[in-house]
Amino acid sequence: MIGYAWFIVFFFLAFIAVTLIVLLLAAVEVHGYLARASASNLRRARRSPLTPPVSVLVPAYNEAAGIVDSLRSLLAMEYREFEVIVINDGSTDDTIDRLTAAFDLRMVPRPTPPFLRHERVRAVYVPASTLNLVVIDKDNGGKADCLNAGINFASYPIFCTLDADSILEPDALAKSALPFVEDPQRTVASGGMVRVANGCRIERGRVMEAHLPRSRLAMFQVVEYTRAFFGTRTGWTAINALLIVSGAFGLFRRDVVIQAGGYRTKTVGEDFELIVRLHRMCRAARRPYRVVYVPDPVCWTEAPERARFLRRQRQRWYRGLLEVLFIHRRMLFNPRYGTVGMLALPSFLLFEALGPVVELSGYVVTVALWVTGGINLVTFALLLLICVLYGQVLTLGSITLEDATPNRFPGLSPLARIRWYAWAENFGFRQLMQVWRISGLWQMIRGSGWGAMERKGLSG
């Protein structure tokens, strides 16, 4: 038992070492981004004829409450040329009726392109006006199936995926498309910063004032988002090993995604799986490419504030992680896939997939050794201190990087509150998350579903 306790100690030390390296890489990447993404460069990107037009794909299932405001906000974005394609996934509410009334939609005859497979398209609608909007009504098939249909109908070489309940900043597309302008031949995907919108004042699909959530559960998620986006994703981008472009907001080259076969519909982590497959395809073909994270606050999304919905979300994420690691297991520790196969995927396997098991068993073993006299109080306190401090390094570093970028939170008080929750999460919240993640494995073994999510809606 003592030997296993020392294994846990070395496991956490290895995690801290990897975290510090990724954080240093993130600092370099953020510095380079700030040098490139000046206001003048963004203005040129919005106006330049070299800026690629973008098809914005919005999967929608029972989104009648907020879909109209969201679309009005999208259609007013600051970008040279784009279209918005709403894919109604067999909604059982009046999503189509509200869209028809708000935008004066007309059914048009349009054949279904054959590039990717998806469920049957019932009808295609466009506005009577000149709005750059297309609405596809199809049989229910899930989010990945929706996106495949949207890719088929997209007119432009770059497509953007956006959740129907997400809100973009007016210059979001310009910022996220910048990698495609700077390096159009190699860039195959880019992802932007996603922030928690709970607590913000939102009117008609626009964030008017940014505030931190009042909900404690939502605040803990703010800490997690800060670490994930500013700490890890920015760092992995520096060595072209980014594995996740958030399903809430991401840009992709349409031809490359079609070549890869589109989104996989039989996994719960379709966004994660697609990025890993793009890495695999490009590296196997020895094709120069980039998958980029843009470290800028561009997309706002709703975080669950009730425990049972947060549990379902984490169970789904963990199941998606395990499925992706199994599907692409041949990439693990394979030098053919470079930094992805030798660094990024092994890190996800060790620290994300096995981490919950090691961490929870570590608590049990350490307490058992302390109770039975296997370790003294000083050693026990040291192990506890390691458990508490290892996350603080990444959190504080991520907050520092966030503060260096343009952000919407005024003053120092929000950052102090985030730091306080970063400490508090170690005493109950983090352990609960690990239990919920492991329960996702049990769900996957049983083959049970993960349940629906609650949406309060963001528009005021």
Q: What is the C-alpha separation between 216 and 459, in angstroms, rounded? A: 21
For the chain, which residues score pLDDT lower than 50?
Answer: 460
Q: Tokens in use for 143?
A: 């989010």
Amino acid identity of residue 286, one-letter, is R
CA 102-166-233 angle, 5° bins: 155
pLDDT at 167: 87
Mean pLDDT of the chain: 86
- H-run or E-run covering 371: helix 355-372
pLDDT at 382: 73
3-class DSSP assignment, residue 301: strand
pLDDT at 106: 96
pLDDT at 419: 82
3-class DSSP assignment, residue 451: coil
Contacts of 447 (CB under 8 A, 6+ apart): none
**Cβ pair 293, 190 in contact under 8 A:** yes
φ, ψ at 243 (rounded to 5°):
-105, -15
pLDDT at 92: 92
Contacts of 344 (CB under 8 A, 6+ apart): 236, 241, 242, 243
Q: Tokens in use for 396?
A: 């504080």
Structural domains of the chain, ranges and CATH numbers in brackets: 18-52+157-345 (3.90.550)
SS3 content of the chain, % helix, strand, coil (to 5): 55, 15, 30
Q: What separation in angstroms does the CA of 305 have from each of 66, 197, 212, 213, 318?
A: 18, 12, 13, 10, 19
Q: What is the C-alpha separation between 220 and 421, in angstroms, rounded? A: 6
